[in-house]
Amino acid sequence: MSSNIDSQVVSGFGDEWSRFDQSSLDENELNSMFENYFHIFPWGSLPKDAVGFDLGCGSGRWARLVAPKVGELHLIDPSVALEVARKNLSELKNCRFHTGGVDDIPLEDSSCDFGYSLGVLHHVPDTRDGMRKCVAKLKPGAPFLVYLYYRFDNRPAWFRLVWKLSDIVRRFVSRSPHGVRYLVSQCLAATVYFPLARGSKVLEKLGMNVEKIPLSQYRNNSFYTMRTDALDRFGTRLEQRFTKSEIEQMMTDCGLKDIVFSDRSFWTAVGFKE
Per-residue pLDDT reduced to its tens digit, 189-234: 999 999 999 999 999 999 999 999 999 999 999 999 999 999 999 9
SS3 18: helix
139 and 249 both lie in a single domain: yes
Looking at per-residue pLDDT, the higher value among 264 and 248 belongs to 248
* Average pLDDT of the segment spanning 31-57: 97
Average pLDDT, the chain: 96
Compute the 3-state secondary structure of the chain and give helix, strand, coil in percent, each to the nearest 5: 45, 15, 40
Shared domain for 27 and 94, answered yes or no, is yes
Q: Are 243 and 150 in contact (CB under 8 A)?
A: yes
The whole-number pLDDT of residue 113 equals: 98
pLDDT of residue 44: 96
- How would residue 179 be classed by pLDDT, with cut points 50, 70 and 90? very high
For 116-136, what is each residue's pLDDT tens digit?
A: 999 999 999 999 999 999 999
Note whether 49 and 145 are same-domain residues.
Answer: yes
Mark whether 26 and 134 lie in a shared domain: yes
pLDDT value of residue 54: 98
- The predicted model gives 259-268 an average pLDDT of 93
The reply to whether 171 falls in a domain is yes
- Write out 122-155 in H/E/C secondary structure: HHCCCHHHHHHHHHHCECCCCEEEEECCECCCCC
Per-residue pLDDT tens over the stretch 158-168: 999 999 999 99
Both 140 and 199 in a single domain? no
Phi, psi of 105 (to 5 degrees): -65, 120
Residue 2: pLDDT above 90? no
**Residue 214, class by beta-carbon neighbours within 10 Å (0-12 exposed, 13-18 middle, 19+ buried)?**
middle
pLDDT the model gives residue 248:
98
1 lies in some domain: no
Instruction: Identify which of 119, 138, 145, 116 has the alpha carbon closest to the alpha carbon of residue 255.
Output: 138
Position 2 in a domain: no
Mean pLDDT along residues 249-272: 96
Q: What is the model's pLDDT at position 1?
A: 47
State the pLDDT at residue 83.
96
User: How many domains does the chain fold into?
Assistant: 2
Q: Compute the distance between CA of residue 110 and CA of residue 212 in angstroms, rounded to an integer.
A: 41
Note the pLDDT tens digit of each residue in 65-96.
999 999 999 999 999 999 999 999 999 999 99
Tell whether 108 and 38 lie within a shared domain. Answer: yes
Structural domain of 63: 7-151+241-273
Q: What is the three-state SS of 80-121?
A: CHHHHHHHHCCCCCCEEEEECCHHHCCCCCCCECEEEEECCH
